[in-house]
A and B are shown apart, each in its own frame.
Chain A
Amino acid sequence: GNSVTQMEGPVTLSEEAFLTINCTYTATGYPSLFWYVQYPGEGLQLLLKATKADDKGSNKGFEATYRKETTSFHLEKGSVQVSDSAVYFCALSGTGGFKTIFGAGTRLFVKA
């Protein structure tokens, strides 16, 4: 079946460090891929998305490229800030109905 696998957290970085959170997926067809972010005490909000192979989604300094050949959608940021501390969820949708499939989430801590 369809699934999303994210790297386990927590990930702890110092401010201005480079961030990579790995995400790989298994899906039939051509899903859309998403990264959502959840700040403490809040609901999820969309960070970026990509709808076809080789698309790059970007927002707030974060980027992710839809790689069909490696079935990956890794999240990157060149210089993290304390305010980026949150839980990040990779997700896919569009395969077989109305269901979006979320990864388990990766918690990021950024130290000043």
Chain B
Amino acid sequence: NAGVTQTPKFQVLKTGQSMTLQCAQDMNHNSMYWYRQDPGMGLRLIYYSASEGTTDKGEVPNGYNVSRLNKREFSLRLESAAPSQTSVYFCASSELRGSLDEQFFGPGTRLTVL
């Protein structure tokens, strides 16, 4: 039982390059989330998907797009990377619709934009 998996673990991009962060969960959860973690700022929600087929903006969506490919997979795309997007990105999932439920986190992707 892998839980929440993320690829890649590390990535270095140049300004203006694009990339997609992949996330998959095998717990049959309805809701999935993308966060970024920056020093001293905790976790900030980028986008979430309450259920398959729906996505909504979180606190810091600018510069990102998401796709809920199916119930298992939720990807995050950076179309034109900027140094301000240097961060650690976490994908999470929860069983119930909404955030009242415990969230399960992946191991994170450490992204550096030069």
Chain A residues near B (Cβ < 8 Å): 4, 32, 34, 41-46, 49, 51, 89, 93-94, 97-100, 102-105
Query: Which stretch, B14-22, B43-51, B63-71, B76-84, touches the partner chain A?
Result: B43-51
B100 and A93 form a contact (CB under 8 A): yes
A42 and B40 form a contact (CB under 8 A): no
Chain B nearest CB from A49 CB (Å) reads 7
Q: A43-B4, A44-B43, A89-B42 are in contact. Are A99 and B58 (CB under 8 A)?
A: yes
Chain A nearest CB from B1 CB (Å) reads 14
Dominant SS at the A interface?
Answer: loop
* Residue contacts A-B, CB under 8 angstroms, 8 given: A42-B108, A43-B92, A43-B105, A43-B108, A45-B105, A93-B100, A98-B97, A104-B40
Chain A nearest CB from B29 CB (Å) reads 13
What size tier do the contact residues of chain B reach? 20 to 34
Interface flags, B84-114, vs A, CB<8A=1, else 0: 0000001010000111101111111000000
